[in-house]
A = this chain, B = another copy of it.
Amino acid sequence: MKNTLSQRTINRLTQYHTILRDYTKKDIDYITSSQIANLLTMDETQVRKDVKQINCKGKCKVGYQVKELKNIIEKVLDYNTTKHAFVIGAGNLGMALSKYSKFSEFGLDIVCLFDTDKNKIGKLAGEKHIYSLEELPEKVKELNINIAILTIPNKFAQDVCDFLVKSGIKYIWNFTPTVLKVNDDIKVWNENLIGSFIQFCAISNVK
């Protein structure tokens, strides 16, 4: 099913899911499309269209059952299959992501980190080992992991990316503000925090 959804729909579904989690924690049973729309300052019709697309039915005047809609989104977007990943770069951001406990609740398991700095190699980030980047190819094979989270200085990004791909990595969650050159079979997802902030400022007219 997820293959038939557009990128923008998937984006919105992850936002609905965030709201549904909050409602679940507050033990609220029902939510209306207008409540969701208000929280996200978006159009109610869009919410209804998205929810219909994933085959969830609401009750007239009551809304959607929170747990049901949450479960359907989790099923459609595959929240519940654990994905194992490596963090490349044990700097401040790499360490922060590795220690972030919320990730595991959403099926992201950061297994270990890699760095080239001798002062970091062999140490721990929380409970996770920091290995030498040279050991990556064997770890990829040994653990059968093909997702890398890239948090290294910009200037090394492309070279390290090439090394990751050569080592068997197929999916790169890229936190460096660089557009990486890769072949079509490698998927890169750019998490450009600076670009995101610039967007925020431009859209909100920050002065």
* A interface residues with partner B (beta carbon < 8 Å): 2-3, 5, 7, 10-11, 14-15, 17-19, 21-22, 39-40, 77-79, 81, 83, 91-93, 95-97, 99-100, 102-103, 106-108, 147, 154, 171, 173, 177-179, 181, 187, 189-207
Contacts and interface: CB of A to CB of B under 8 A. Distances in A.
Contacts of A40: 179
Nearest to A93: B96
A106 to B, nearest CB: 5
A17 B195 contact: yes
Copies in the complex: 2
Contacts of A207: 81
Nearest to A98: B92
B39 A195 contact: no
Nearest to A181: B39
B100 A93 contact: yes
Contacts of A179: 15, 18-19, 22, 39-40
B200 A171 contact: yes
Nearest to A76: B202
Nearest to A99: B92
A130 to B, nearest CB: 15
A55 B203 CA distance: 19
Contacts of A178: 18, 22
Interface residues of chain A: helix, strand, loop or mixed (majority):
helix
A92 B102 contact: no
A206 B170 CA distance: 9
Contact of A95 (B92, B177, B206): B92
A9 to B, nearest CB: 10
Q: Which 3 interchain pairs have the tightest Cβ spacing?
A: A14-B195, A92-B96, A189-B200
Contacts of A154: 102
